[in-house]
Structures are given as structure tokens and as C-alpha cells.
Amino acid sequence: MQFEADYYDGISPRAKRVLVTIEADRFLFTVSMSNTDGTQTNKPLDFLISDCHVQARLGSGKRLIDLPDDSRLETDFKELESCLPTKPANTFWQFVHYAETHKSIILIAFIGIALASWLLLQHGVPAIAKYAALATPVNVEKDLGKQTLDALDNEKLGYFEATKLPVAKQEEIQAALEAMCAKTGTCPAYLLNFRKSPEIGANAFALPGGYMVITDELIVLAKNNDEIVAVLAHELGHVKGRHALRQTLQGTVSGLIIIAITGDVSAIASGLPALMMNMSYTRELETEADNYALQSLNAACIPAKSFATLLMRLEASHGGGDKSMPEMLSSHPDTKARIVPFLQDRSHCT
């Protein structure tokens, strides 16, 4: 039995067309070789088939035969298997070839991969991010938060300017928040940062490691310190649950999965500062932070409606649906639904 093939000697990228003869248990063919004097010589080659690696069929692609001297044969000969010495069939590769040559199986596999990827991104990645965040050392999380805040403070990004809030007002807000924490006894470690931001406007958010930022614009929007503390209590809920780290890890892992599937590196090329500024918490994490805020306000005898009134005023100031909506409004839960527990709260302090 004979078949034509392209022969690659493992040195030159150029192929040589050869006629391969299968004789008993051997591959026999002749290759034209160039001599130093410019003449051509035909060199016979002889390989035991058992010493060669005949690669498995891959759809309708060329068959590859790796020879023991690191050279290779490539052929379009479809009946190669039937010409080789009989050996036990490899069931796995038979199945692979069958799957590759039947469109229905390819379609089912594609749907299965798409479904598995969706389930992984929807449920698997959040679970992984949650436990990864819990396992991350506190000092590592603080370093991440500090680096992120430093990046956001970079003038080239244009997110923040130095606060214009009087020092006395800053100290007043700090004292009010500390008073709430003293009464609740449940506040996590935090560092409150005041910034002015014409770019993002009235906003407050938590970075990894307990770094919290509140803008001058939000403080101006608030009617009193109770409203400011109520918003900061919500952010403390994010700090306590390490939500910023969880969302960062989740976004990174999701991006890596998307890259693995699509090969598109641009999917996560925006960088951490942009990720943090555009991040929206899930319904679960927002609800968790809201519940923490409500419990803290009750424990500190601060009217729960303070959070609701400022949230509604904040939404109105952003037109109810602007693309620059602050973190507390850009998440999945509907604002009106979120504030119901705060408006209906009837806790009384003695």
C-alpha cells in the first residue's frame, strides 16, 4: 500500500513531497537531498511503524505521523488506519473522532459549554470569590485598598480633588460615626476619607481594607449628620462583609474565564481603579449592607428613615437613571423597594 505525504525533516520548514510505501511493519520512502556540490541524491528512509507515533484523527484534518528521528509526515490519506498493522482499538479516540465528525454532537457540546460557563459565572465564581476573600489576609486587603485609593487620587484620572470641607465639619462627621460605632460595638476597622469629586458627584463607597470615601457633594446634599451617618453605616456593612474585595476577585476571575473562553484580553483591560468606580454590588451584598445599616441605626438610636430620605434625594439629584449613578443606586435592588424597611421601622430607643 502506498500514499503521498509531505515530509518535514525537523530542520527546514519546507516540506518535500514523498511517496510512502507500507510494507509489512515499516514505512519506506525516498527523500531527495541536496549535496554540498549542488547535486541531488535520493536517500531511502526506513522506519518501523511501531517506533512511529500516528496521531489520532482530528476531524477532516491531515493525518500526522511523528517519526523517531523527530521528522514528520503529513498526509491527506483517509484510509491510513486500515493499512497499518492491526492493534487494539483505542475506544476513547474512536469516540473523539466520532464526536468531531457529527454536527449534532458538536452542537450539543457547544450548548453544554455555554450552559456550564453561565452556571460557573453566575454561581460558581461568586462562591469562589466569597471564600477567597475570607481567606485573604487583612494586611493584603489593606494594601489593595490603599493602592486603589492612591490610584483614584491621581490627578490624571480626574476622579478626586482635595476636600473643601472645613476641618471642623470633618471632625463633626467623624465624631458622629464614632459615636454610632461605640453604641453598636459591631463596626469593623475603617478609615474615612473626604474627597471632592465634580466627576462622580454625590457619592460614598467602600474600597478593600476598610477605606471609605465620602464626597463633599454628598455631604452638601444631606440635611443633617444623621443622614450622613446612615449612609456611612451602609458602607460599613460593605466593609464588614469584605464586599469590595469579593467583587474585585469576582470580576477578576470572571474576566479570566471569559479570556479562557474567548481569547479576548481586552475583557478585563480597564484596570482596578476603573473597576472599582464602575462596580455594582449584587442584590445579595446590597441587602446585607442595608440590613447591617438598619441594625446599626436602631442600636444607636438614629432614625432609620434618615437613610431612606437621603437615598431618595440622591436618586432625584441624579435624574433617577443617569449613567453616572452612585454605587448605592447603581446596584440591582430597586431604590423604592430598598427603603421600605427603613421607612417602616418602628424601633424606639429608651
All domains of the chain, ordered by start, with CATH? 2-85 (2.30.29), 138-344 (no CATH)
Least confident of 227-241, 269-283, 284-298, 310-324: 269-283
pLDDT for 140 beyond 80: yes
Answer yes or no: are the C-beta atoms of 140 and 134 closer than 8 Å: no
Determine the pLDDT at residue 276.
46
pLDDT tier for residue 87 given thresholds of 50, 70 and 90: low
Determine the pLDDT at residue 320.
55
d(CA 219, CA 242): 24
- In 49-137, at which residue ranges do the beta strands (DSSP E only) sit? 53-54, 63-66, 72-75
Enter the DSSP assignment of 162: E
d(CA 273, CA 158): 11
pLDDT for 167 beyond 80: yes
d(CA 324, CA 203): 10
Taken as a whole, the chain contains a residue count of: 350
Kindly list the distances between the CA atom of residue 114 and the CA atoms of 107, 117, 261, 300, in Å, as whole numbers in the listed order: 11, 5, 10, 49
**What predicted TM-score, i.e. pTM, was given to this entire model?**
0.61
pLDDT for 271 beyond 60: no
HSE toward the beta carbon, residue 335, CA cutoff 13 A: 19
Determine the Cα angle at 205 with ends 204 and 208, to 5°: 155
Determine the pLDDT at residue 274.
45
Task: Please state the rounded mean pLDDT for residues 144-158.
Answer: 86
The enclosing H or E element of 16 equals strand 16-23
The enclosing H or E element of 175 equals helix 167-184
Question: What angle, rounded to 10 degrees, do the helices at 283-299 and 335-344 form?
Answer: 20
221: nearest Cα among 203, 237, 206: 203
**Whose grid coordinates read 438610636?**
301
